[in-house]
């Protein structure tokens, strides 16, 4: 189960990238956009038409799209006292557009807590259902499914470990790591076999057979672990992109 955009971006600590303008705090747009693109390469933003009011003040608008979800935000062109500027110059307008972009990103979760006046994002919340699923995966020693679960939960894992009964937290954490390590060991062994075939100049049939023996979830993680050279040769052998 993949995390939502909000779950991914709202828990990121932006504190080291906050800039001050007078008494107001802003998130550096360069870092904010880079962070979004690192997580969602398909993200795009559009500078919408500006609005000029009769008194000469302006409002800029920016739209952002991530995974098909689109938000639009607006922001007046402001001075250092957060007062609307009459007849703003190009620099004022450009600065407002970038701040509006960051404001729009907050609608997806990134730096949202700054606008709420909080110093740090709220800690990720883990549910009882999450904990029970984790316990079940460990008890059944489902290493690959556990791997999927841990990656999906991300920062929630510390909270989930703390939900274990008093006096059993260390053992529970150790059990999780032990079961998780099974998939790690499998990946290392499989990569070793593939690399060995490539070094020995084995035929494409060997690589194809090596790949075909994997389950779908094993293919997912073993494919990710291949080196660039090995991936290229594996793709050539199986006739598909990894």
Q: How many independent structural domains does the chain possess?
A: 2
Backbone angles phi and psi of 45, in degrees to 5: -130, 155
Query: pLDDT of the chain along its 242 residues, tens only?
Result: 356 898 889 888 887 787 766 556 778 899 999 999 999 999 999 999 999 999 999 999 999 999 999 999 999 998 877 788 999 999 999 989 999 999 999 999 898 877 765 444 555 667 888 899 999 999 999 999 999 898 888 767 888 888 888 888 889 999 999 999 999 999 999 999 988 888 888 778 888 998 999 999 999 888 888 888 888 888 888 888 87
Supply the pLDDT for residue 117.
54
Supply the pLDDT for residue 1.
39
9 shares its domain with 79: yes
How many of the other CB atoms lie within 10 Å of CB of 76? 17
Supply the pLDDT for residue 43.
94
Query: What is the Cα–Cα distance from 86 to 78, expressed in whole angstroms?
Result: 9
Residue 121 within any structural domain of the chain:
no
Supply the pLDDT for residue 104.
93
Supply the pLDDT for residue 230.
86
Backbone angles phi and psi of 156, in degrees to 5: -75, -15
Helix (H, G, I), strand (E, B) or coil at 229: helix
Residue 122 within any structural domain of the chain:
no
Residue among 72, 187, 205 at smallest CA distance from 234: 205
* Domain C-terminal end among 52, 80, 115: 115
Q: What is the CATH number of the domain that holds 62?
A: 3.30.390.80
Contact criterion met (CB below 8 Å) for 208 and 201: no
157 shares its domain with 102: no
Residue 164 within any structural domain of the chain:
yes
137 shares its domain with 221: yes
133 shares its domain with 105: no
Q: What is the dihedral of CA 30, 35, 40, 43, to 10 degrees?
A: -20
SS (H, E, C) 31-74: HHHHHHHHHCCCCEEEECCCEECCCCEEEEEEEEEECCEEEEEE
Supply the pLDDT for residue 28.
86
């Amino acid at each position: 189960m993949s995390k939502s955009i909000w779950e991914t971006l709202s828990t990121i600590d932006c504190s080291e990238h906050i800039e001050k303008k007078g008494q107001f705090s802003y998130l550096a747009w360069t870092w904010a956009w880079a962070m979004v693109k690192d997580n969602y390469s398909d993200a795009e933003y559009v500078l919408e038409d500006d609005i000029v009011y009769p008194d000469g003040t302006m409002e800029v608008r920016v739209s952002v799209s991530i995974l098909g979800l689109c938000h639009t935000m607006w922001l007046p062109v402001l001075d250092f006292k957060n007062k609307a500027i009459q007849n703003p110059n190009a620099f004022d307008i450009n600065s407002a557009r970038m701040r509006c972009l960051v404001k729009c990103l907050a609608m997806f979760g990134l730096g949202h807590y700054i606008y709420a006046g909080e110093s740090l994002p709220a800690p990720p919340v883990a549910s009882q259902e999450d904990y029970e699923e984790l316990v079940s995966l460990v008890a059944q020693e489902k290493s690959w499914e556990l791997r999927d679960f841990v990656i999906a939960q991300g920062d929630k894992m510390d909270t989930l470990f703390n939900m274990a009964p008093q006096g059993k937290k260390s053992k529970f954490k150790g059990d999780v790591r032990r079961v998780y390590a099974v998939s790690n060991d499998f990946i290392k062994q499989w990569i070793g076999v593939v690399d060995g075939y490539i070094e020995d100049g084995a035929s494409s049939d060997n690589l194809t057979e090596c790949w075909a023996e994997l389950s779908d979830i094993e293919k997912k993680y073993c494919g990710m672990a291949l080196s660039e050279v090995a991936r290229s040769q594996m793709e050539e052998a199986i006739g598909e992109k990894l």
